[in-house]
Structure 1
Amino acid sequence: MKNTKLRLVWVIPNVFCYLMFAGVSAFTVIHAEGLQEIHRLGIWVLAMILLFAVSIFGSYRIWTWIKEGKM
């Protein structure tokens, strides 16, 4: 491990991003019918997709930085 503190600074927000994705997904699944009634289900699904994409991209960047030896 080259720099443990630097890894923690990047990994902890990434883990929270995954937790937010799980929370938003659970909320959307639980309240899907009500969100559909007020025509907001599409916005929540889009938010879920974007949050998942940000989480995956963050994980990929951390992985490549570790692989390259930058952190």
Structure 2
Amino acid sequence: MKNNKLRVIWIVPNLFCYIMFLGTLLFVLTHAEELRELNRLFIWVLTSFSLLLVSLFGSYRIWSWIKEGKM
């Protein structure tokens, strides 16, 4: 393990993105009918999907940096 502080600095925001994704997904699932009535369901689903993509991309970058020995 090279630089543990650098790993923590990158991993903590990535975990926060996963938590935001789960919170957004939970909100959408519990309020889907109301969001559909307001024509906002698509926006919330798109936001949730975007958070998932950002989280997965961040995880991939962290994993690749660790594998390359940069972290």
Gaps of 5+ in 2: none
| Distance in 1 between residues matched to 2:42 and 2:23, nearest whole Å | 17
Deviations along 1:11-51, whole A, 9 cap, x unmatched?
Answer: 00000000000000000000000000000000000001100
Identity of aligned residues (%): 62
Partner SS, residue 64 of structure 1 = helix
RMSD value over aligned CA atoms?
0.3
Q: How many residues align?
A: 71
Q: Distance in 2 between matches of 1:43 and 1:65?
A: 33
**Following superposition, which runs of at least 4 residues in structure 1 exceed 6 angstroms of deviation?**
none
Give 1:68's aligned amino acid.
Answer: E
Q: TM-score normalized by structure 2?
A: 0.99
